[in-house]
């Protein structure tokens, strides 16, 4: 069991903020992970995969677990579908590329999302009308409290918009994810940006959809390796119908989608943009100038500075439109 002490976390979060972890472990097998968890029973623990959706505002007085669980195995296959078990530490987009090149359909809209496979169920990643939950059969985990393995079937994961049981409880370390993908593919129009890109292609192949997604994302979203960021910083707010009516009086053009009884999703990017914050910058932190939902780091190592900037955006949007923005990114 290899435990390291006082490790700098800057390389392990895509915002590149500095913080020291008291303990740091990189288990390479499920067994090793179980041993680490049972040995450090009383320590506060945090699992970091690609670190693409979190940042640190202070040192971490506990154990950071950075799993090294790789492997892609076909566990079942028939004429219509293939079922794959994928190690949590596999790079998400390399896995999507693997699927597309093998003609396995279902994940192509989720191309070019940074992070690991193990992180994908945690916040039920989604893009261009697709959500990862629609391809997940089960999630294998180790329980942080008991160090026992536990498998969750899809319906036990409590998936919803950018949310799951794994996000709510943070009790389980995901070790692998089982996906079921389809062997046949017909493109269905789900999202304007993507349809526009594919308008001149009669029957897009998986590869063409993937390329279109990558193009759309590259046009709008900054690469965290060039300009540190953590993707969408805020969740799209869900409003009651009263809140929705109030918003329309202030912003008649605000995008609104019904998402169930008395619930309407609006666009955080639209609110931030309409509040005049797009491209705004305070010292080394700013709102990306091509997409208002992304906060970018122009050179600070301080997570506290990013958090302070986030609060300025939240205050401005609340003051202007009475809507509370909730971060989608995890802040420690």
Among residues 45 and 224, whose Cβ is nearest to ligand EPU? 224
Contacts of 250 (CB under 8 A, 6+ apart): 320, 321, 322
Catalytic residue among 16, 162, 180, 210: 162
Least distance from C-beta 76 to ligand EPU, angstroms? 30
Binding-site member from 224, 313, 328, 330 for ligand EPU (CB under 6 A):
328
Among residues 183 and 220, whose Cβ is nearest to ligand EPU? 220
Among residues 140 and 291, whose Cβ is nearest to ligand EPU? 291
In the shown chain, the binding pattern of residues 269 to 288 toward ligand EPU, with x for contact by CB under 6 A and - for none, equals xx--x----x----------
Q: In Å, how far are 70, 212, 216, 262 from 270, measured between CA atoms?
A: 39, 23, 18, 21
Binding-site member from 51, 222, 231, 237 for ligand EPU (CB under 6 A):
231
**How big is the site for ligand EPU, counted in residues (CB under 6 A)?**
19
Under the binding rule (CB under 6 A), the answer on residue 224 touching ligand EPU is no
> Which positions from 36 through 65 interact with ligand EPU, judged by CB under 6 A?
none
For the residues of 78-89, what is the DSSP string, one character each? Answer: -SSEEEEEEETT
Q: Specify the DSSP element, H or E, that contains 180.
A: strand 172-182
Least distance from C-beta 4 to ligand EPU, angstroms? 29
Backbone angles phi, psi at 308, to 5 degrees: -65, -40
Which residue's C-beta sits nearest to ligand EPU? 231
Among residues 174 and 221, whose Cβ is nearest to ligand EPU? 221
Catalytic residue among 85, 108, 211, 328: 328
Query: Is 328 a catalytic site residue?
Result: yes
Binding-site member from 168, 189, 255, 299 for ligand EPU (CB under 6 A):
255
- Near ligand EPU by CB under 6 A, which window of 18-26, 167-175, 227-235, 299-307? 227-235
> Which positions from 116 through 135 interact with ligand EPU, judged by CB under 6 A?
127-128
SS3 302: coil
Query: Is 162 a catalytic site residue?
Result: yes
Beta pairing, strands 281-282 & 238-239: unpaired
Catalytic residue among 89, 111, 164, 232: 232
For the residues of 206-267, what is the DSSP string, one character each? Answer: HHHHHHHHHHHHHHHS--TTTS-EEEE-BPPPEE-HHHHHHHHHH-TT--EEE-STT-EEE-
CA–CA distance, 27 with 49 (Å, rounded to integer): 12
Under the binding rule (CB under 6 A), the answer on residue 235 touching ligand EPU is yes
Within 10 angstroms of residue 245's Cβ, the number of other Cβ atoms is 11
CA–CA distance, 231 with 125 (Å, rounded to integer): 11
Under the binding rule (CB under 6 A), the answer on residue 267 touching ligand EPU is yes
Decide: residue 220, CB within 10 A, 0-12 exposed, 13-18 middle, 19+ buried. Answer: middle
Contacts of 71 (CB under 8 A, 6+ apart): 85, 86, 87, 90, 176
Least distance from C-beta 98 to ligand EPU, angstroms? 21
Contacts of 154 (CB under 8 A, 6+ apart): 133, 136, 137, 138
Binding-site member from 9, 291, 297, 325 for ligand EPU (CB under 6 A):
291
Least distance from C-beta 262 to ligand EPU, angstroms? 20
Catalytic residues: 162, 232, 328
Q: What is the binding site for ligand EPU (CB under 6 A)? A: 127-128, 193, 220-221, 231-232, 235-236, 255, 267, 269-270, 273, 278, 291-293, 328
């Amino acid at each position: 069991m290899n435990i390291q002490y006082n490790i700098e976390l800057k390389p392990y979060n895509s915002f590149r903020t500095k913080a020291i972890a008291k303990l740091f472990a990189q288990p390479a097998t499920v067994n090793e992970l179980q041993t680490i968890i049972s040995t450090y029973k009383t320590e506060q623990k945090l699992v970091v995969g690609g670190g693409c959706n979190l940042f640190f505002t202070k040192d971490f007085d506990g154990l950071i677990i950075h799993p090294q669980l790789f492997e892609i195995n076909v566990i079942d296959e028939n004429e219509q579908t293939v079922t794959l078990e994928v190690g949590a530490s596999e790079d998400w987009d390399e896995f999507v590329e693997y699927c597309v090149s093998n003609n396995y359909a279902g994940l192509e809209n989720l191309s070019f999302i940074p992070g690991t496979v193990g992180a994908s169920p945690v916040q039920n990643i989604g893009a261009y009308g697709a959500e990862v939950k629609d391809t997940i059969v089960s999630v294998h985990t180790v329980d942080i409290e008991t160090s026992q393995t536990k498998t969750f079937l899809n319906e036990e994961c409590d998936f919803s918009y950018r949310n799951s049981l794994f996000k709510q409880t943070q009790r389980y370390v995901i070790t692998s994810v089982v996906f079921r993908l389809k062997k046949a593919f017909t493109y269905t129009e789900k999202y304007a940006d993507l349809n526009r890109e594919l308008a001149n292609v009669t029957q897009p192949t998986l590869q063409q959809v993937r390329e279109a997604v990558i193009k759309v994302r590259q046009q709008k979203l900054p690469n965290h390796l060039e300009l540190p960021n953590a993707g969408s910083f805020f969740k799209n707010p869900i409003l009651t119908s009263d809140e929705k009516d109030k918003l329309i009086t202030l912003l008649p053009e605000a995008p609104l989608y019904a998402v169930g009884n008395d619930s309407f999703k609006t666009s955080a990017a639209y609110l931030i943009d309409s509040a005049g914050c797009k491209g705004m910058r305070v010292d080394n932190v700013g709102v990306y100038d091509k997409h208002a939902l992304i906060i970018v780091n122009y050179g600070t190592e301080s997570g506290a500075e990013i958090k302070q900037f986030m609060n300025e955006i939240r205050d401005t949007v609340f003051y202007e439109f009475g809507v509370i923005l909730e971060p989608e990114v995890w802040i420690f």
